[in-house]
Amino acid sequence: MKVKMLSRNPDNYVRETKLQQHKVPRNYDPELHPLEGAREYVRALNATKLDRVFAKPFVCNLSGHRDGVSCFGKHPKMLSTLATGAYDGEVRIWDLANRCSSRNFVAHDGFVRGIAYARNGERFLTVGDDKTIKVWKSESPEVGEDEEPVNTILSRYILHGIAHNRKDNHFATCGEVCAIWDEKHNDPLKTLKWGVDTLHTISYNPVETNVLACCASDRSIILYDQREAQPLRKVVLTMKSNKLAWNPMEAFNFTVANEDCNLYTFDTRKLHTPLKVHFDHVSAVTDVDYSPTGKEFVTASYDKTIRIYQAHQSHSRDIYHTKRMQHVVCVSWSLDNRYIFSGSDEMNVRMWKANASEKLGVIRPRERANFNYQEALKAKYAAHPQIKRIARHRQVPRHVLNAQRKMRVVKEKDQIKEANVRKHSKKGTVPHVSEKKKHIIKEEV
């Protein structure tokens, strides 16, 4: 007779001292874990609910400007530094870690139109309504010294924006013309023109650094190459585009913030149709900035809200607003992909979390593992109606809700009207035009 009984040595299952962790032997046999689907579903539901409970995106408010904030400049190397320009010509440098302004000076008469840091972050350039480009040192001056620009360039044309090349020492300004400058010269290397309209925003491609794009007041978007004498291409939309941002990862794509409440993502190779139209804003979109991962972008709007979109989705994934925030003029996504900055008319710069429910501070490995598990669960059960409803729910200001309702009515009316016209006209005379193509007037080469 051979007999063996199951007898466990308790020493293998009980911790020896109180300083140790409890022993947790695991057995992943699916049969010891019954009702797996239902339990995971409940966990996913709880995770989604917790996500909404902890969705508190507002981090802090940076006050100090004495007029509306007009533009941002991101330091390419220091995450805790942000430069902001205001309507009264004041530039402030913020120390974000301490949430205070480390330096401020009046740079221009009238608006500060644009701030751009140089490649290495040692200097930054500002342009203003006084037709000057000023170069400043990033370091604050010694005690007792005055704030003096390193260099001041007087431009012949009005200036509306500035962008710095990511790889060499060139920078570009826009205004009446698009001008390419070298940091060491006081005259533009080149001026590029297409018509006589004002160009109000300019942006360098982050990868193919010779290419740049401008938005013009004749409702067009123009692509330039800084090596060539002539502009490359132009696409005209139904309404004016306010800002343009290149996707830093898929650098052949860019997104423009349009006056008609929408954003359009274009592929530079196919300008005749946008890749995606991004809806949801109820007033003119004033600014757009991509996250450094290129998967998402943030937009600011005249409807007093900020929205976050996934680059390949038409509808926003999140909306941020506060009672006190007025028309948002500029917005920026921090280079560590964790924060969003917004500057608005009522003189404040606000800092938000990019992921509304993210926990700030030190996260222990076990907590991190739990967060990852929750994320996976949420993704797995995202399509379930209950979970979808909770995940999608957002509190929206009353005026936005009303405006959305109004826009929906207008859209329905237009559709009905179009259908009626189509019904009562000869077949084929009223073609179906897709929502994407509706807003593009023409492409010129």
Partner 1 sequence: MTKTEPKKRSKAPAGPKRYFDSSNQGDGDGELEPIKLKRKTQQNFLGDFIKMTQSKSKPKDKLKVKPPKKEKISPHLVEKYTRGDKVESRGVKTRHFKEQQQRKEVYLEYATEQAARTELLLTETPGQLEADEEETTASFRQGEIVANVDLQSAAKHFQLQLDFGPYTMSYTKNGRHLLLGGRRGHVAAFDWVTKKLHCEFNVMESISDVQWLHLPTMYAVAQKSWVYFYDHKGTELHCVKRLNNVNRLDFLPYHFLLAASNRTGYLSWLDVSLGELVGNFNTGLGDIRLMKHNPSNGVVCVGGGKGVVSMWSPKVREPLIKLLTHGTAMTALSVDPKGRHLVTAGLDKTVKVWDLRMLNDQPLALFHLRLPANQLDISQRGMLALSQGTYLEAYTDILSGGGTGDPTKLPYLRQRCDAFVHGLHYCPYEDVLGVSTAKGFVSLLIPGSGEPNFDALEDNPYETRKQRREHEVHALLEKIPAELITMDPQEIIGVDAPTLQEKIDAKRQLFHLKPTKIEMKSRRKMKGRGGTAKMARNKQIVKDLKRKEFISDIKKAKQNVIAQSRSKDAGDEASKFSSKTKQRSVLDRFKPKNQKKSQKS
| Contact footprint for partner 1 (CB under 8 A) | 1-8, 10, 12-14, 22-43, 46, 384
Two structure tokens written together for 169: 């020492």
Helix H, strand E, coil C: the string for 135-146 is EEECCCCCCCCC
| Beta carbon nearer to partner 1, 54 or 60 | 54
Note whether 288 and 297 are within 8 A (CB): yes
Angle at 318 between CA 314 and CA 321, to 5 degrees: 125
Angle at 219 between CA 218 and CA 222, to 5 degrees: 90
Cα 367 to Cα 89, 359, 362, 373, distances in angstroms = 46, 10, 10, 10
Short-list 144, 168, 128, CA closest to 136:
128
Nearest distance in Å: CB 434, partner 1: 18
Nearest distance in Å: CB 31, partner 1: 5
Task: List strands edge to edge, sheet with 316-320.
Answer: 285-290, 296-301, 306-310, 316-320
Two structure tokens written together for 369: 């593992």
Nearest distance in Å: CB 28, partner 1: 4
Quickly list H helices, 271-397.
365-380, 385-392
Nearest distance in Å: CB 49, partner 1: 11
| Beta carbon nearer to partner 1, 34 or 144 | 34
For CA atoms 431, 434, 437, 438, the dihedral sign is: positive
Main-chain phi, psi angles of 258, to 5 degrees: -105, 160
| Beta carbon nearer to partner 1, 33 or 438 | 33
Residues across the chain: 445
| Beta carbon nearer to partner 1, 12 or 230 | 12
Helix (H) or strand (E) holding 342: strand 339-344
Nearest distance in Å: CB 237, partner 1: 27
| Beta carbon nearer to partner 1, 18 or 323 | 18
| Beta carbon nearer to partner 1, 1 or 143 | 1
Note whether 258 and 239 are within 8 A (CB): yes
| Beta carbon nearer to partner 1, 60 or 376 | 376
Nearest distance in Å: CB 365, partner 1: 18
Nearest distance in Å: CB 10, partner 1: 6
Nearest distance in Å: CB 40, partner 1: 7
Cα 33 to Cα 24, 29, 30, 378, distances in angstroms = 15, 7, 5, 20
| Beta carbon nearer to partner 1, 99 or 388 | 388
- Beta strand 190-192 with 178-182: parallel, antiparallel or unpaired? antiparallel
| Beta carbon nearer to partner 1, 23 or 411 | 23
Nearest distance in Å: CB 384, partner 1: 8
Burial 215-234 (b: 16+ CB within 10 A, else e): bbeebbbbbbbbeeeebbbb
Amino acid symbol at 18: K
